[in-house]
Amino acid sequence: MNKSPTASLSAESSIPIISVRGVSKTYAGGFQALKNINLDIQRGEIFALLGPNGAGKTTLISIVCGIVNASAGSIIADGHDIARDYRAARAAIGLVPQELHTDAFESVWATVTFSRGLFGKPPNPTYLEKVLRDLSLWDKRNEKIMALSGGMKRRVLIAKALSHEPTILFLDEPSAGVDVELRHDMWRMVRELREQGTTIILTTHYIEEAEQMADRIGVISKGELILVEDKEVLMRKLGNKQLTLRLRQPMSIIPAELSNWSLTLCEHGHALVYSFDTQTEETGIAELLRALGEHGIEFKDLRSSESSLEDIFVSLVHRPMEAQA
């Protein structure tokens, strides 16, 4: 508050909007849901938190939002300590929970009006109308929530979270039980929000979602943040490309002359797969094709594929387990 406006403005862009330091959580039953989490979320980014069920994603979000108390550590959200200065911190955050927790008997309009008031904002029907229109809820504004479908209830939860104009939006498994249309609507909306400067943190099971949306990705497994990386870098670093050659004549073993290349036989000898690193300058494809020609190995088709975020994710999450075994 005592900084000059220009100083704070320039500093704002470099200071993380959320800073998680040494956060651990052990539930009353003794289950340790989070182990010493350190994480910075940059202002204006879309951050995807990936992890299998029970990895600790929801616990982490719940701690930042004030629903669960951390056992250790501290969190700064939008420049405010979430425990000491909870009012300012929470006013900046909107949360769309994973479960469809809604009031049954309230109308859509009443529930978004309630949410805005609860978060300390003066009434603004024009803004709320815009939120409802953006989510295709305007026609349903006078309907009771219990009369809505699951997808519509999800939209209501999003509208409630946006009702107080948060600068940080948490979407906990936004696509769970949502049809394709709503999923695409939601992605569009999230991108628009980001353009308006909102920081978005989403947890997801759907790798496609993270791949489509996220700027950065964090992978959480068994309560530990095992990786945080720029999405592009992650996919480049850990991604493999494969070239699959469909052979005219099936092969039983790979000829010794081709041992320079990392090759495997698939489809009962009908396909030859060459895996290569996307990072290197020389992929070795041209040499391989030349060598195949020289040895009279003919192929009728070829295609190349890149490992998806899903492959990367599975390999990351399973790697520590295999190491432990």
Partner 1 sequence: MNFYGIRAIYRFEMARTFRTLMESVAAPVLTTSLYFIVFGKAIGSRMGDIDSIGYGAYIIPGLVMLSLLNESISNASFGIYMPKWAGTIYELLSAPVSWIEVLIGYVGAAATKSVMLGMLILGTARFFVAYQIAHPIWMIGFLLLTAVTFSLFGFIIGLWADSFQKLQVIPMLIVTPLTFLGGAFYSINMLPPIWQQISLFNPVVYLISGFRWSFYEIADVDVAVSIGMIFGFLMVCLTFVWWVFKSGYKIRR
Among 104, 180, 253, 323, binds partner 1 (CB under 8 A): 104
The only residue of 93, 210, 235, 272 in contact with partner 1, by rule CB under 8 A: 93
Query: Binding to partner 1 by residue 121, rule CB under 8 A?
Result: yes
Q: Are residues 311 and 247 in contact, defined by beta-carbon separation less than 8 angstroms? A: no
Q: What's the Cα-to-Cα distance from 126 to each of 36, 92, 113, 130, 162, rounded to whole Å?
A: 43, 20, 11, 6, 13
State yes or no: residue 253 binds partner 1 (CB under 8 A).
no
Among 7, 9, 11, 67, binds partner 1 (CB under 8 A): 67
- Binder among 57, 116, 140, 231 for partner 1 (CB under 8 A): 116
Size, binding site for partner 1 by CB under 8 A: 35
Q: Is 114 in the site for partner 1 (CB under 8 A)?
A: yes
86 binds partner 1 (CB under 8 A): yes
Min dist CB 303 to partner 1, Å, is 47
* Nearest distance from C-beta of residue 97 to partner 1, angstroms: 5
Helices and strands: H and E segment counts in the chain: 11, 14
Burial class (CB in 10 A: 0-12, 13-18, 19+), 60: buried
Q: Does 101 bind partner 1 (CB under 8 A)?
A: yes
**196-199: long-range pairs with CB below 8 Å, 24+:** 197/43, 197/44, 197/167, 198/44, 198/166, 198/167, 198/168, 198/169, 199/17, 199/18, 199/41, 199/42, 199/43, 199/44, 199/45, 199/46, 199/47, 199/167, 199/168, 199/169
150 binds partner 1 (CB under 8 A): no
* Least distance CB 28 / partner 1 (angstroms): 7
Contact flag: residue 69 with partner 1 (CB under 8 A):
yes
Segment near partner 1 (CB under 8 A), from 91-99, 196-204, 231-239, 267-275?
91-99
Minimal distance in Å, beta carbon 123 to partner 1?
A: 8
Closest contact distance (angstroms) between CB of 69 and partner 1 is 5
CA–CA separation, 312 vs 308, rounded Å? 7
Determine if residue 269 is left, alpha or beta; phi over 0 gives left, psi from -120 to 50 gives alpha, anything else beta. left
Residue 268 zone, left/alpha/beta (φ > 0; ψ -120 to 50; rest):
left
Among 47, 109, 119, 274, binds partner 1 (CB under 8 A): 119
Interface ranges with partner 1 (CB under 8 A): 27-28, 65-69, 86-91, 93, 95, 97, 99, 101-106, 110, 113-122, 160
